[in-house]
Amino acid sequence: MRAVVQRVRACAVHVDGVLKGKIDDGLLVYLGVGRTDAERDARTLCDKIVNLRIFTDENGKMNLSVLDVGKALLVVSQFTLFGDARDGRRPSYTEAAEPAAARILYETALRILQGSGLTVAAGEFQASMEVSYTNMGPVTILLDTEKRF
């Protein structure tokens, strides 16, 4: 599984003009599921997300996690995280999971994150979404359970 994690303020996701999820302060997580991913990948990635130390402490150092600061998460499914544009100009998505399998792991990840005690908002799986946010820092972290980057 892959995630792009951004420290944000005033983050929202809409589908066809309808608000699907919103947080005031916390992490925006774009979440992609690969074709070989399993529940263990969801657990590993979710643990990394909630414990990632990217919020500043009293000394101005990025030393606190979203759990430490008690902020919220907005999770948006994004199969394009598995886009491969190394050959040619049109990305290939052959490494992305098929929609049915991806939905199961996306929903599993949402349940795991909700189990952390944090407020978790979400977009709509397999929908065309409009995401708006203010990236704080900016701080953007790339995560991959297979550690490809």
Choose the catalytic residue: 6, 36, 56, 78: 78
Query: Among this protein's residues, is 44 annotated catalytic?
Result: no
77-88 core/surface letters (b: 16 or more CB in 10 A; e: else): bbbebbeeeeee
Angle between helices 99-114 and 39-51 (to 10 degrees): 40
Looking at 6, 44, 56, 79, which residue is catalytic? 79
Q: What kind and span of H or E run contains 9? A: strand 2-15
80 catalytic per annotation: yes
Residue 92 CA to residue 4 CA, distance in Å, equals 19
CA distance 66 to 52: 7
Structural tokens at position 80? 């394009």
CA–CA dist 54, 110 (Å, integer): 20
Q: Which position among 36, 80, 126, 134 bears the catalytic label? A: 80
DSSP strand pairing (2-15 vs 18-32): antiparallel
User: What amino acid positions are annotated as catalytic residues?
Assistant: 78-80
